[in-house]
C-alpha cells in the first residue's frame, strides 16, 4: 500500500492516466469529476489555482480500514501541499503569507447529500492576523475566518446550521441592520469567537487552531460522508454503485472580493436555453462565488464584463473556446478574478433545454467539432418529445397553484374548460369554439369523439396505458390519467380536488408531461415541427445512420437491415402527419376505430345484433363503403410505402351500451311497469332484448375473450368484408397510379391453426377482388404476436404468416398476467414505488420476461422464414429503451404514434450507433 499513489497534483493528470491505463472515464473514477476536470484544464494551459486531489481509492481504503487513512496517504497529502506552497509562493499556516485552501468533495457522479465544501482552510487566530496585515482589510479576513469556523462546524462536525445562523441573526438585530453587509470587522471577529464556543459546547472539541488538523479533519469528513445516510439514500434512488468512493480536492483559495479588479461568475459557453453560440452567464465585481448563486446582489450579464475588465474578459472568452474545442461539448464554467488575474475553478458539461441540445448538436457538426453520430447521441430522445407538444410558460406554471397530480399519460400542455361527458365536450368545442378539457372517471371507445374534440383529457382512473392514455398519445392530445385525488361527481357535474371544487365550464390547465393539474389558465407556447429546422436536420442524420447500419445479425434476405420507424395511424389525417414526421410505413391501422364514428356505429350495432345471416350480411354490405374509403385515403397518404391494416380486434360488446347502464335502465322500467305507469310495451321488450344480447356477450375477462382472430373465426363475414374493402381500396388507388403496399394483419393468433383456418379464405377474397378490378397489387398476410403461445411456437406460426408484428401491450399483459385496465391503479404503480419492478412494464419493455419471448419469437420465426418481416406496434414502439431492445432483437421496424416518430427515429439511430448486445 505504501507504494500506491493516493494523491495527484492538478498538474499530474498524465500520471493518473498512466495509472488507470489512459482511459478518461477511469481518470474521472479515480479523481472524481471535479478533480479530473481541474487537472485536465491545468494540462491544457487553462489557469487553475494550484491544488491536488486525494483519490476515490484512498476513500475506499479509508472506509474499508474502519475510517483510517491508508498507509502513506497523509504523507502524500502533505507532500502535495508543499508543491502547492512552492507554486503559490505562500505557506500553509504561516502568519506572514498564509496559504489558504478550500476542500471540496467530488465523486465520479455529482451527488447531493455528500459533504460539499469547506472554504478558507488554513485560517486560525494567527494567520488571520497575518492576513489582515497582508490585505489591510480586517472585515474581509474575519468574514473569511467565521466562514471557515461555520463550515467546519456545520459541514465537518455536522452540527445544525441554525446554531450559527441564529448568532448572525442576533448580531444583525443588535446592530439594527438588515443584511450581512451591515456587519463590521469587529462584529465578524466576535461572531467567529462565538462560533468557536458553539463548536466547543455542541461537538465537545475545540476548533482546531492547527491548520494541518483542519486539513486532516476535513479530508476525513469528506471520506466519511460517502457512507452518510443521505448519500446512501441518494445512491439507492439514483442507482449509483456504492463502491465508487469520493475524491477530495484541495484548491488554493482565490478571492474575488478583493476590490474592483476582482470578481466572480458562472457562465455557459453557449446559450443553454436557445442554443445560440454566445457566452451566457452572470458575474459580480468584488464578490465571492457563493454570492452569485445566492442572489443576494444583482448580477450582471457576462457580456458587460468586457467593459468592466476587458483583459480578463478576453482571456475568459478564449478559454471558453478552448474548453469547448477540448471537450467538444458546451461547458458550464465557474471563474474568479483576483486583482485582475483570471482563475478557472470548474468546468463541466452544461445542462440545456431540449431546443438548445438540438441546436448545439447541429451547430457543432457544422463547426466541424463533432460527427453526425456524436450529434445524434447528444440529444436525449425524451427531450425531443417535449418539443412537439404545447408547453406552459415555465414562470407562469411555477406561479400557478397545483390542484392534483396523476399519471403523465400524454405529454403537452393543455388549457380549457372542464366538461364531464363526450357529447358536451364535443358540442362545446365544435359549436361554441371553446377550448375543452374532457374529464371522466375513465374513458371508453364511445367517448372518442369527445376526446378528439378536446385540448386535453383528464381521468381519475386508469394508468399509462388505459384507454384514455392510449388514445391521447395516439392523437397527441395532452392527458393526465388515474388522478385519484380528484373526486368526480358526474351527477353534480363537479370535481373536488383537495379543498377546491371545480364546476362544469371552469378552466383548468394540465401538464401531460408531468401529470400536474392546475386551476385556471396558464399561458402556453405551441411549437411547430416544420419550423424546427435543426430538429429536422438532426433526424435526417438519424435516419441516414439507421439506414447505413447493416451489420446486425440478421439472415440474408431480411427486408431491412437497419431498424426503421413506422407509425400507428387509423385515419388518413394521421397518416399524413406520420409522413411529415418521417414514418417509413404504417405499422398499425386499427380498423375498428372507424366503427365508432357517429354515422357508422348504428350499422355496426345492427350487424352485431343481427338475428339472421342475411341481416348481418346486409349490415356488413353497408359498412364496406365506409371502410373502403378510409383505406383509400390511407393508401393515398402512404403512396409508395407499406400499410399494415389490422383486422377487427376488440370484443363486439365494446360497440354496444354498457351492461350496467342497461341494467339500471331496465330496473327502472320494470319498477315503472310494476307501479302501473303506462309504457309503450315495445320499450320494455326492446330494452330487455338489448340487455339480453349484451348479457350474452359479456365476459368475465374480456381481454382474454372472444376478440381478434377468435371473432374472425366465429364470424367470418366480418373480416371477409374488411379484406374486401382493403383490396377494393388498394386496387382503386393502384388504378389511379398510386403505389400501394397493403399488408393484412390478423390479431391475437395463439395457434398456427387459427391462421390456417382463416388466411386461405381471406386470400381467396383478395384474389377475387383483384380479378374483379382487373389489376394486381403486392400484398402480404401476417399476424400480431401478442399471445405468449404465438411467440413460443413462432416457427410454426411463421410457416403461414409472412410478417410478425409484436403487440407488446397485450404480450406484456399476458406475460405478467397484468390487466392493463386494472393493474396500474390497483398495484402496479405501488410495485414501481416499492422497487419490486424497475419500471412500469407497459411503458418500458420488460427485457427479462417479455423481451425473452420477443427474442425467442424472432429467432424461431426467422428459422422457419428467413425473410420474415418483424416489427413492433405496441406502445413500446415509441419508447427509447424499448426501441434499443427492438434493435438488438433484430426487428425490422418499430411503429409508434405519429407524435412519437421523432423520438423513435432518434432512439433507433442511437441504438444503431451504440450496438448494445442482446441479453435476455
Task: Report the residue number, 363 or 786, with the smaller CB distance to a copy of itself.
Answer: 786
Beta carbon nearer to a copy of itself, 627 or 815: 815
Q: Are 712 and 706 in contact (CB under 8 A)?
A: no
Q: Which is nearer to a copy of itself, 551 or 836 (CB)?
A: 836
Q: Which of 320, 483, 589, 873 is catalytic?
A: 873
Residue 216 C-alpha from the chain's centroid: 42
SS3 at position 106: strand
Smallest gap from residue 678 Cβ to a copy of itself (A): 16
Residue whose C-alpha is closest to residue 843's, from 485, 473, 595? 473
Rounded to the nearest whole angstrom, what is the least distance from the CB of residue 405 to a copy of itself in the complex? 20
User: Is position 873 annotated as part of the catalytic site?
Assistant: yes
Lookup: cell for 479: 392527458
Total number of residues shown for the chain: 920
3-state secondary structure of 491: coil
CB of 796 to a copy of itself, least distance (A): 8
Closest approach, Cβ 171 to a copy of itself, in A, equals 50
Q: Which residues bind a copy of itself (CB under 8 A)?
A: 659-660, 663-664, 667-668, 671, 675, 699-706, 710, 713-714, 748, 750-751, 753-754, 756-757, 786-789, 792-793, 796, 810, 813-819, 821-823, 826-827, 830-831, 834-837, 846, 848-850, 852-853
The one catalytic residue among 59, 320, 467, 876: 467
Residue 243 Cα distances to 62, 64, 227, 767, angstroms: 12, 10, 10, 66
Pick between residue 269 and residue 813 the one whose CB is nearest to a copy of itself: 813
305 vs 850, which CB is nearer to a copy of itself? Answer: 850
Closest CA to 37 of 249, 289, 272: 249
Q: Which three cell numbers stand for residue 146?
A: 467565521
Pairing of strands 586-590, 564-568: parallel
Identify whether 103 is a catalytic site residue: no
For a copy of itself, the closer of residues 738 and 856 by Cβ is: 856
Nearest approach in angstroms of CB 402 to a copy of itself is: 25
Spell out the residues 6+ positions from residue 339 whose beta carbon is closer than 8 angstroms to its own. 258, 259, 261, 262
The DSSP line for 77-95 is HHHHHHHHHHHHS-BTT-S
Residue 797 Cβ vs a copy of itself, minimum distance, rounded to whole Å = 11
Nearest to 283 by CA among 303, 255, 311: 303
Buried b (16+ CB within 10 A) or exposed e, 845-874: bbbebbbbbbbbbbebbbeebeebbbbbbb
Smallest gap from residue 580 Cβ to a copy of itself (A) = 36
Of residues 748 and 870, the one with the C-beta less far from a copy of itself: 748
Please identify, using beta-carbon distances, which residue of 47 and 849 lies nearer to a copy of itself. Answer: 849
Measured from the CB of residue 466, what is the shortest distance to a copy of itself in angstroms?
10
Cell of 495: 370535481
Phi and psi at residue 472, in whole multiples of 5°? -60, -50
The Cα–Cα gap between 16 and 7 comes to 9
Residue indicated by cell numbers 486560525: 124
Q: Least Å distance between CB 620 and a copy of itself?
A: 20
- Distance (Å, rounded) from C-alpha 302 to C-alpha 285? 11
Specify burial of residue 667 (Cβ count, 10 A radius: 0-12, 13-18, 19+): exposed
Give backbone dihedrals phi and psi of 818, rounded to 5 degrees, phi first.
Answer: -110, 120
**DSSP string covering 249-295, please?**
EEEE---TTSSTT-EEEEEESS-TTT--SS-EEEEEES--HHHHHHT
Given the complex with a copy of itself, which of 562 and 747 has the nearer CB atom?
747
Q: How far apart are CA 169 and CA 172, in angstroms?
A: 5
> Angle at the Cα of 555 (from 551 to 557), degrees rounded to 5?
100
Interior CA angle at 223 toward 218 and 229, to 5°?
110
Helices 901-914 and 880-888 meet at what angle, rounded to 10? 50
Bridge partners of 498? none
- Which of 197/836 has CB closer to a copy of itself? 836
Residue 500 DSSP symbol: E
* Active-site residue list: 467, 873
Amino acid at each position: 500500500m505504501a507504494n500506491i499513489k493516493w494523491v495527484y497534483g492538478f498538474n499530474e493528470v498524465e500520471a493518473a492516466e498512466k495509472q488507470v491505463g489512459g482511459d478518461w472515464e477511469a481518470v474521472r473514477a479515480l479523481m472524481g469529476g471535479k478533480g479530473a476536470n481541474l487537472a485536465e484544464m491545468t494540462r491544457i494551459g487553462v489557469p487553475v489555482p494550484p491544488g491536488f486531489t486525494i483519490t476515490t481509492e484512498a476513500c475506499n481504503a479509508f472506509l474499508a480500514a474502519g475510517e483510517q487513512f491508508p498507509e502513506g496517504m497523509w504523507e502524500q497529502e502533505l507532500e502535495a501541499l508543499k508543491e502547492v506552497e512552492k507554486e503559490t509562493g505562500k505557506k500553509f499556516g504561516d502568519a506572514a503569507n498564509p496559504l489558504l485552501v478550500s476542500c471540496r468533495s467530488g465523486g465520479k457522479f455529482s451527488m447531493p447529500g455528500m459533504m460539499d465544501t469547506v472554504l478558507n482552510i488554513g485560517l486560525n487566530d494567527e494567520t488571520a492576523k497575518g492576513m489582515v496585515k497582508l490585505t489591510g482589510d480586517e472585515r474581509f479576513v474575519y468574514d473569511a475566518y467565521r466562514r471557515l469556523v461555520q463550515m467546519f462546524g456545520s459541514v465537518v462536525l455536522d452540527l445544525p446550521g441554525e446554531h450559527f445562523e441564529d448568532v448572525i441573526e442576533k448580531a444583525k438585530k443588535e446592530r439594527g441592520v438588515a443584511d450581512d453587509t451591515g456587519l463590521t470587522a469587529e462584529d465578524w471577529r466576535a461572531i467567529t469567537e462565538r462560533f468557536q464556543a458553539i463548536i466547543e459546547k455542541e461537538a465537545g472539541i475545540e476548533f482546531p487552531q492547527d491548520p494541518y488538523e483542519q486539513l486532516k479533519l476535513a479530508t476525513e469528513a469528506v471520506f466519511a460522508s460517502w457512507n452518510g445516510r443521505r448519500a446512501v439514500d441518494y445512491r439507492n434512488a439514483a442507482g449509483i454503485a456504492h463502491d465508487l468512493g469520493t475524491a477530495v480536492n484541495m484548491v488554493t483559495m482565490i478571492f474575488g472580493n478583493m476590490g474592483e479588479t476582482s470578481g466572480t461568475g458562472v457562465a455557459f459557453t453557449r446559450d443553454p436555453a436557445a442554443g445560440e453560440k454566445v457566452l451566457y452567464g452572470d458575474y459580480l465585481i468584488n464578490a465571492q462565488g457563493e454570492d452569485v448563486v445566492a442572489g443576494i446582489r444583482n448580477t450582471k450579464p457576462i457580456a458587460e464584463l468586457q467593459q468592466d475588465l476587458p483583459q480578463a474578459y478576453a482571456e475568459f472568452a478564449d478559454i471558453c473556446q478552448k474548453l469547448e474545442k477540448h471537450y467538444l461539448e458546451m461547458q458550464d464554467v465557474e471563474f474568479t478574478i483576483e486583482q485582475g488575474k483570471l482563475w478557472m475553478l470548474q468546468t463541466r458539461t452544461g445542462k440545456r433545454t431540449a431546443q438548445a441540445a438540438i441546436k448545439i448538436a447541429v451547430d457543432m457538426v457544422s463547426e466541424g467539432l463533432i460527427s453526425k453520430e456524436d450529434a445524434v447521441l447528444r440529444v436525449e430522445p425524451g427531450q425531443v418529445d417535449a418539443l412537439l407538444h404545447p408547453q406552459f410558460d415555465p414562470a407562469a406554471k411555477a406561479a400557478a397553484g397545483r390542484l392534483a397530480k396523476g399519471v403523465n399519460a400524454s405529454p403537452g400542455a393543455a388549457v380549457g374548460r372542464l366538461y364531464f361527458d363526450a357529447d358536451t365536450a364535443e358540442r362545446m368545442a365544435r359549436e361554441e369554439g371553446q377550448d375543452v378539457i374532457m374529464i371522466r372517471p375513465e374513458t371508453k371507445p364511445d367517448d372518442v369523439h369527445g376526446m378528439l374534440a378536446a385540448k386535453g383529457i383528464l381521468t381519475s382512473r386508469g394508468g399509462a396505458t388505459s384507454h384514455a392514455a392510449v388514445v391521447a398519445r395516439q392523437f397527441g392530445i395532452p392527458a393526465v390519467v388515474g388522478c385519484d385525488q380528484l373526486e368526480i361527481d358526474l351527477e353534480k357535474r363537479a370535481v373536488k380536488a383537495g379543498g377546491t371544487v371545480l364546476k362544469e365550464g371552469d378552466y383548468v390547465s394540465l401538464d401531460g408531461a408531468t401529470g400536474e393539474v392546475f386551476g385556471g389558465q396558464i399561458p402556453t407556447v405551441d411549437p411547430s415541427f416544420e419550423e424546427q429546422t435543426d430538429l429536422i436536420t438532426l433526424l435526417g442524420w438519424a435516419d441516414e445512420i439507421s439506414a447505413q447500419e447493416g451489420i446486425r445479425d440478421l439472415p440474408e434476405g431480411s427486408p431491412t437491415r437497419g431498424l426503421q420507424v413506422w407509425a400507428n395511424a387509423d385515419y388518413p389525417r394521421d397518416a399524413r402527419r406520420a409522413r411529415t414526421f418521417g414514418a417509413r410505413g404504417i405499422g398499425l391501422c386499427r380498423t375498428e376505430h372507424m366503427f365508432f364514428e357517429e354515422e357508422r356505429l348504428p350499422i355496426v350495432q345492427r350487424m352485431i345484433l343481427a338475428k339472421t345471416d342475411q341481416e348481418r350480411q346486409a349490415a356488413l354490405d353497408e359498412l364496406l363503403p365506409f371502410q373502403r374509403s378510409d383505406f383509400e385515403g390511407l393508401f393515398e397518404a402512404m403512396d409508395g410505402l407499406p400499410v399494415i391494416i389490422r383486422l377487427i380486434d376488440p370484443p363486439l360488446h365494446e360497440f354496444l351500451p354498457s351492461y350496467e347502464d342497461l341494467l339500471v335502465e331496465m330496473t327502472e322500467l320494470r319498477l315503472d311497469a310494476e307501479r302501473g305507469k303506462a309504457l309503450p310495451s315495445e320499450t320494455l321488450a326492446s330494452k330487455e332484448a338489448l340487455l339480453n344480447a349484451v348479457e350474452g356477450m359479456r365476459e368475465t375477462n374480456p381481454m382474454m375473450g372472444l376478440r381478434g382472430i377468435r371473432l374472425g373465426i366465429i364470424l367470418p363475414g366480418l373480416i371477409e368484408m374488411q379484406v374486401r374493402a382493403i383490396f377494393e381500396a388498394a386496387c382503386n388507388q393502384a388504378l389511379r397510379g398510386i403505389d400501394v403496399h397493403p399488408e393484412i394483419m390478423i390479431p391475437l393468433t395463439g395457434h398456427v391453426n387459427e391462421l390456417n383456418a382463416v388466411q386461405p379464405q381471406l386470400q381467396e377474397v383478395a384474389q377475387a377482388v383483384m380479378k374483379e378490378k382487373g389489376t394486381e397489387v403486392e400484398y402480404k398476410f401476417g399476424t400480431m404476436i401478442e399471445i405468449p403461445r404465438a411467440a413460443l411456437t413462432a416457427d410454426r406460426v411463421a410457416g403461414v404468416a409472412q410478417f410478425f408484428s409484436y403487440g407488446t401491450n397485450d404480450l406484456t399483459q399476458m406475460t405478467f398476467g397484468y390487466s392493463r385496465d386494472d393493474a396500474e391503479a390497483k398495484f402496479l404503480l405501488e410495485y414501481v414505488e416499492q422497487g419490486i419492478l424497475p419500471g412500469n412494464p407497459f411503458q418500458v419493455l420488460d427485457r427479462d420476461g417479455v423481451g425473452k419471448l420477443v427474442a425467442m419469437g424472432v429467432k424461431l420465426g426467422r428459422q422457419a422464414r428467413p425473410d420474415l418481416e418483424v416489427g413492433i406496434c405496441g406502445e413500446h414502439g415509441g419508447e427509447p429503451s424499448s426501441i434499443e431492445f427492438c434493435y438488438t432483437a433484430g426487428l425490422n421496424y418499430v411503429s409508434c404514434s405519429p407524435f412519437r416518430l421523432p423520438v423513435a427515429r432518434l432512439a433507433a439511430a442511437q441504438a444503431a450507433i451504440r450496438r448494445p448486445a442482446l441479453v435476455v
